[in-house]
Structure 1
Amino acid sequence: MATGRIIQIGLLSGILALTGCIPAGRPAVPGPPPSSLALPAGYRLVWSDEFDQGAAPDVRNWSYDSHRNRQGWYNGEEQYYARHRARNVRIEDGRLLVEAHAERLDRSDYPDWGGQAYSSGRLITRGHQSWTQGYFEVRARMPCVRGAWPALWLLPVQETGRWQGGEIDIAEHVGAEPGIIHHSIQTAARNFRTGDHPTAQSMVSDACTQFHRYQLHWTRDWIRIGVDDRAAMVVSPMDLGIAFDRPMYLILNLAIGGQWGGIKGVDAAAMPARLEIDYVRIYQEDRL
């Protein structure tokens, strides 16, 4: 979610290994990963949330992240992230709804309100669950309101500096460009600011009307990201300069506006914008 602008799809990291052109002194990368991104054999479910209980997210699984509300959020984003507010985050009909509204709040009711013109929600598993490697699947339906910027992504639990432990963006969607799902990896050396980070796109024409499975397969040797069992990005951590071996936590959020999400403005009249999550499922190899 650190991305602040659209970057053209570049050559996938790991191509050196696939062509045999591995720089001297570096260990050989295992053979190419499977072309399918379907759940691999030998993996078992280690954590999930089906959102089929209660009216609000399970506090044993999720926390609300609102730490930048008063100062304003990164990337010039324009939302206030509410905590325990059903208007913005709730469970209905077996789905998690993260909903953004055009509204100005009252600081007497919301002391950390920073003057934002929009409210929304941001959920994290930090403090509850984290994972090192695994197969991640989030079944979701995206909003297509201009200015909406939903994201499904991972950050390290312990971070010593910006992107020192990396960032994995499973899926981002800019409402002004319906159906283009962005996948990316950020590191301290390669990120949206340097403009050379690994990034790819999946074309999902009905992303805003149908549910799709947004997937990540993260192993020691490969990071593969895509949609509905089709990999759009294949990256070798070896080529990124960091091991991607730190525990990471999951983030589900719906930003509004910002340097990328608001590149064509925000259509406040089309609000509310809604990110719908059917389930989150995380699998790991039996040996882990």
Structure 2
Amino acid sequence: MFARTALAFLILASCTLPISAMAADASVPLPLVGDPFVRPDGYTIVWNDEFDSGELPDIGRWHNETSRNRRGWYNGELQYYAHQRRENARIENQRLVIEARQEDLSAKGWDDWSGQKFSSARLTTRGRASWRHGFFEIRARLPCVVGAWPAIWLLPEHQDMQWQGGEIDIAEAVGYEPGTVHHAVQTAKRNFLDGNHDRGESHLNYCGGFHDYQLLWTEDRIVVGVDGKVGFAARPRGFDRKMILILNVAVGGAWAGAQSLDAEAFPARMEVVSVRVWQKAEPR
């Protein structure tokens, strides 16, 4: 969830097998962009949310992250992340809606408000669930409002919100690129700060409908794709900590573009139909 340029990651290895046929073996080549991408055999579901009850996100599954509201969020972002506020995160028509809004927050009396003119929500599984390896699938429709920065991503479980290298970006988008979804892996030695992180992209009209955003994370590889096709693959080393899932819609910032932001086009909504996590079953 950091600034990056829209450069395609070049996968050097070739492969003709679908992802489901690959073992967790570094000798097996990484797949190519566009290769078939399905959940491997032998995986069972371990966590999910279908958003089929209630009016607000289930606090047993989701934590509202608000820790940087007073100091301001990273990357020069412009939003205030609200806590359990229906206007910004709600269950509607059996979908999770995360909505970034332009509004006057000065009369709300919130102690951590520091002048932001946009509100939004950032939901995480911190304190609820974390995973080391697995297959993740999030069915969602991302907003394409210029200035909106929706993201579906993972961070290490224990880092007190201070980015220490170690991030999987399943899907990120910026409104001025309505035909591109970005994927990335960042580590302490390969990250956005030195412009040397592993990244790729999928080309689709992401705001035109719902899509399945997918991640396979094993001992030897990270593969990300959309709708059953590979968009990116890498072999990051030392990437073995438990991680939490994050869903958010940021506003402006170094990448999404505070200067070109179309404030009149807001609200910007991310709609999520389901979040599902599978892990490889342990042998009996």
TM value normalised by structure 2? 0.90
Answer whether contact 1:30 1:221 (CA < 8 A) is retained: no
Answer whether contact 1:163 1:186 (CA < 8 A) is retained: no
Shift of 1:41: 1.1
| Residue of structure 1 equivalent to 2:60 | 60
| Residue of structure 2 equivalent to 1:23 | none
- Spell out structure 1 runs of 4+ moving beyond 4 A: 160-165
Picking from 27, 31, 44, the partner of 2:28 is 31
Answer whether contact 1:137 1:213 (CA < 8 A) is retained: yes
Structure 2, gaps ≥5 residues long: 16-24
Shift of 1:9: 1.4
| Residue of structure 1 equivalent to 2:20 | none
Structure 1, gaps ≥5 residues long: 19-27
Q: Deviations over 1:202-241 (max 9, x none)?
A: 0012x1121000000000011000101111111112xxxx
Looking at structure 2, the residues matched to 66 and 97 of structure 1 have their Cα atoms a distance apart, in angstroms, of 18
Is residue 233 from structure 1 mapped to residue 228 from structure 2 by the alignment?
Answer: no
| Residue of structure 1 equivalent to 2:87 | 87
Is residue 196 from structure 1 mapped to residue 188 from structure 2 by the alignment?
Answer: no
Looking at structure 2, the residues matched to 122 and 208 of structure 1 have their Cα atoms a distance apart, in angstroms, of 20
Looking at structure 2, the residues matched to 164 and 56 of structure 1 have their Cα atoms a distance apart, in angstroms, of 31
Q: Deviations over 1:103-134 (max 9, x none)?
A: 12136521111101100010000100000000
Answer whether contact 2:187 2:239 (CA < 8 A) is retained: no
Aligned partner of residue 251 in structure 1, secondary structure: strand
1:1-288 equivalences in 2 (<5 Å) = 1=1, 3-12=2-11, 15=12, 29-33=26-30, 35-106=35-106, 109-159=109-159, 164=164, 166-205=166-205, 207-237=206-236, 242-262=237-257, 265-287=260-282
Aligned partner of residue 208 in structure 1, secondary structure: helix
Q: 1:196 to 1:245 in 2, by over 3 A?
A: same
Looking at structure 2, the residues matched to 79 and 161 of structure 1 have their Cα atoms a distance apart, in angstroms, of 17
**How many pairs align?**
271
Identity of matched residues, %: 50
Shift of 1:30: 2.3
Q: 1:82 to 1:162 in 2, by over 3 A?
A: closer
Answer whether contact 1:125 1:251 (CA < 8 A) is retained: yes
Answer whether contact 1:54 1:91 (CA < 8 A) is retained: yes
Q: 1:36 to 1:16 in 2, by over 3 A?
A: closer
Answer whether contact 2:224 2:231 (CA < 8 A) is retained: yes
Answer whether contact 1:163 1:188 (CA < 8 A) is retained: no
Looking at structure 1, the residues matched to 66 and 159 of structure 2 have their Cα atoms a distance apart, in angstroms, of 18
| Residue of structure 1 equivalent to 2:19 | none
Q: 1:160 to 1:96 in 2, by over 3 A?
A: closer
Looking at structure 2, the residues matched to 61 and 194 of structure 1 have their Cα atoms a distance apart, in angstroms, of 35
Deviates more, 1:189-198 or 1:91-100: 189-198
Looking at structure 1, the residues matched to 224 and 122 of structure 2 have their Cα atoms a distance apart, in angstroms, of 22
Deviates more, 1:100-109 or 1:84-93: 100-109
Looking at structure 2, the residues matched to 157 and 102 of structure 1 have their Cα atoms a distance apart, in angstroms, of 31
| Residue of structure 2 equivalent to 1:21 | none
TM value normalised by structure 1? 0.89
1:214 partner letter: Y
